[in-house]
Amino acid sequence: MSIKETCHCGSVEFTLQNDPMMHFACHCSDCQKLWGNSFFGYAYSTDDISITGEVKKYSFEGGSGNQLHFVFCPECGSKIHSQPDLIEGMIYVPCGMLKEHYEYEPKVEIFSANKASCFAQLKATAESYEHNGTIERISELLENLEQR
Amino acid sequence: MSDLEQEIEKLKKENKKLSLESKLRKSMAVELDRQKDLLRQATEEVEAQKEKIEGISLKLSRYLPVQLYEQIFSGSLDIHKKSERKKLTIFFSDIVDFTSISEQIEAEEISEFLSFYLTEMSTIAEKFGGTIDKFIGDAIMIFFGDPQSEGDVQDAKNCVDMAIEMQNRIDALQPYIRKQFSFPANLKIRIGINTGFCNVGNFGSTSRLDYTAIGRGINVASRLESEAESGEILVSENTKILLEDFFEFTSERVVNLKGLPHPVNCFNVSHEKSLNRESILGECFKLVINDSNLSDNDLTKLKAFVAKYSEDSSKNEPKADPN
Ligand SMILES: [Zn+2]
Ligand SMILES: [Zn+2]
């Protein structure tokens, strides 16, 4: 199966193959600044996405010392996805982009100590980490990969 | 789509999957390494911090009474605690003719000697549970009975035992001191001890705490110390009364102490340890045994005496006369 979606203004179009590998939330300060609040979204393989239309990329060094790349529409500013060098081969797509296709149920949340108090109890969150939860998330992704 | 094309698609997909898996595993390895590094860094920082704290604690302990130092580091010190009136046994000592001795020795050697001497004495004070109040040059003030007390008698006994050990230690160290610090004469100290009620606690402002004892009892001890002969331990009558069972007291003297309205009786303590004496004080009895000189005859008497109070006849009521 594949999903076709666009940014807010429609100048960027992207398709996603397969279902998300993981629903997760990140409450780090970088996400809060860049996404506007905590990141709520999905992990996909870089192979799963293909984009048409002009995008811009903003890169910076994250807390782990690895680069993080944000891909967005230069027209309307919608963020299509982010891509961490920390976990190679993955992209993160915000759940708002795929509202029509999935019910967002974050199983994992990371940097939980930094979240706004109104998110105190996230529905369905089973694993909550105060750190970056990278090892845990990769294990999860590997499990998901097996089922593909 | 032909079978072949389908097969190729499947293989492509499989290949992508494998490639992603290998990327993920690599990321996992990198992250594990990074975390291991972080952990090592944190451990090193903790170690460094610990060393720093230990260094500071050690420095502090040189300037504070051990008991107070323990209170501070265990968090049990209450700086707002008012001073308390307590019965203390107070000790003063100084080195005989130290001023003239120090004029004959290099300044550096003097400070080295003082550090050595005060460390030796502090070690003995700590062994007997004394609270080191202060060092004033070569003079030392120590008291017993606060923050911990073992009772008036035991506090006083600990103090005199400590004083005796200090005098003996000085004697034993004589050759070393003359050699190491080129002392011109034998090192002698004099000691004064008094027991009395004092105010003890944290005096001064909260920014500069001075845990100390004040009161007339302190002054008496200090005056006795200056009255003492070279190598002597001079105690007041108040202290002697508590310790008559444990030590030999000789040469009662009456001294007029400057600043005191009445003369004070004081006694020299022989430098013999109290180790072999045992004493029990009950409400209706007092028993003192000098273990070192106990003859067979004494022992038989003692056993017979104690046997009267064996469990069978513990009810010591007069027996009814059968007739
Ligand atoms: Zn747009
Ligand atoms: Zn984040």
In chain A, where the domains are located: 2-147
What CATH number does residue B167 fall under? 3.30.70.1230
Quick one: B100 and B206 in the same domain? yes
Cβ neighbours of A11 (radius 10 Å): 16
Q: Which pLDDT score is estimated for B34?
A: 84
Residue B112: inside a domain: yes
Quick one: B152 and B88 in the same domain? yes
Integer angstrom CA distances of residue B32 from A134, B5, B35: 9, 40, 5
Q: Does A50 touch chain B (CB under 8 A)?
A: no
Q: Does B20 touch chain A (CB under 8 A)?
A: yes
Residue that is last in its domain, among B273, B295, B317: B273
Calculate the CA B8 to chain-centre distance. Answer: 85
Quick one: B258 and B282 in the same domain? no
Model pTM above 0.80:
no
Q: Which pLDDT score is estimated for B30?
A: 86
Q: Which pLDDT score is estimated for B273?
A: 67
Cβ neighbours of B30 (radius 10 Å): 17
Residue pLDDT tens, chain B, 323 long? 688 889 998 888 888 888 888 888 888 888 888 888 888 888 888 888 777 767 666 665 555 556 666 665 666 655 555 677 889 999 999 999 888 887 788 878 888 888 889 889 999 999 999 988 888 878 899 999 988 888 899 999 999 999 999 999 999 988 888 888 877 778 899 999 999 988 887 765 544 556 778 878 888 898 899 889 999 999 999 999 888 888 888 878 888 776 667 788 889 988 776 656 666 666 677 777 777 677 888 888 888 888 888 765 555 555 555 44
Half-sphere exposure of B231 (CA within 13 A, CB side): 10
Which residues have a Cβ under 8 Å from the Cβ of B259 and sit 6 or more positions away?
B219, B223
Q: Which two tokens stand for residue B199?
A: 């105010």
At which residue do the structure tokens 């003097």 appear?
B110
Q: Which pLDDT score is estimated for B31?
A: 84
Which residues in chain B are closer than 8 Å to A135, comparing Cβ atoms?
Answer: 28, 31-32, 35
d(CA B168, CA B179): 18
Q: What angle do CA B89, B90, B92 make, to 5 degrees?
A: 150
Cβ neighbours of B238 (radius 10 Å): 21
Residue B68: inside a domain: no
Quick one: B145 and B284 in the same domain? no
Q: Does B16 touch chain A (CB under 8 A)?
A: yes
Which residues have a Cβ under 8 Å from the Cβ of B76 and sit 6 or more positions away?
none
Quick one: B226 and B116 in the same domain? yes
Edge-to-edge, what's the strand order for the sheet holding A13-17? A2-6, A13-17, A49-52
B176-225 tens-digit pLDDT: 888 888 777 788 999 999 999 888 877 655 445 567 788 788 888 988 99
Whether the complex's predicted ipTM surpasses the cut of 0.85: no
Give which of B12, B14, B143, B27 is closest to B88, Cα–Cα: B143
Q: Which pLDDT score is estimated for B73?
A: 61
Q: Does B28 touch chain A (CB under 8 A)?
A: yes
Quick one: B113 and B243 in the same domain? yes
Contact A26, A38 (CB under 8 A): yes
Half-sphere exposure of B188 (CA within 13 A, CB side): 12
Q: Is A22 a residue whose pLDDT tops 80?
A: yes
Confidence of residue A12 (pLDDT cuts 50, 70, 90): very high
Quick one: B50 and B101 in the same domain? no
Q: Which pLDDT score is estimated for B47?
A: 81
**Higher-pLDDT residue of B19, A11:** A11
Calculate the CA A82 to chain-centre distance. Answer: 6
d(CA B268, CA B246): 14
Q: Which pLDDT score is estimated for B66?
A: 60
Quick one: B269 and B285 in the same domain? no
Quick one: B49 and B88 in the same domain? no
Binary contact (B28, A139; C-beta < 8 A): yes
DSSP secondary structure, A68-135, as one string: EEEEE-TTT--EEEEEESSSTTEEEEEGGGGTTT------EEESGGGS-GGGSS-TT--EE-SS--HH
Binary contact (A138, B27; C-beta < 8 A): yes
Output DSSP code: residue A38. Answer: S
Quick one: B121 and B195 in the same domain? yes
Give which of A15, A16, A19, A40 is closest to A145, Cα–Cα: A19
Quick one: how many helices (H) and strands (E) in chain B? 8, 10
Q: Is A140 a residue whose pLDDT tops 80?
A: yes
Size of interface A-B (CB pairs under 8 A): 48
A1 alpha carbon – ligand 2 mean position (Å): 29
Q: Please state the domain count of chain B.
A: 3
Domain span including residue B177: 83-273
Work out the percent of chain A whose per-residue pLDDT is above 90. 60
Contact A79, A41 (CB under 8 A): no
Q: Which pLDDT score is estimated for B81?
A: 56
CATH hierarchy code of domain A2-147:
2.170.150.70
Task: Report the C-alpha dihedral over residues B152, B156, B158, B161, rounded to 10 degrees.
Answer: -160
Give which of A45, A24, A34, A36 is closest to A132, Cα–Cα: A24
Quick one: B120 and B248 in the same domain? yes
Q: Whose atoms come closest to the Cα of A5: which ligand?
A: 1
B41-56 tens-digit pLDDT: 888 888 887 777 676 6
Quick one: B149 and B16 in the same domain? no
Q: Does B14 touch chain A (CB under 8 A)?
A: no
A110-130 tens-digit pLDDT: 998 888 888 877 777 778 888
A84 alpha carbon – ligand 2 mean position (Å): 10
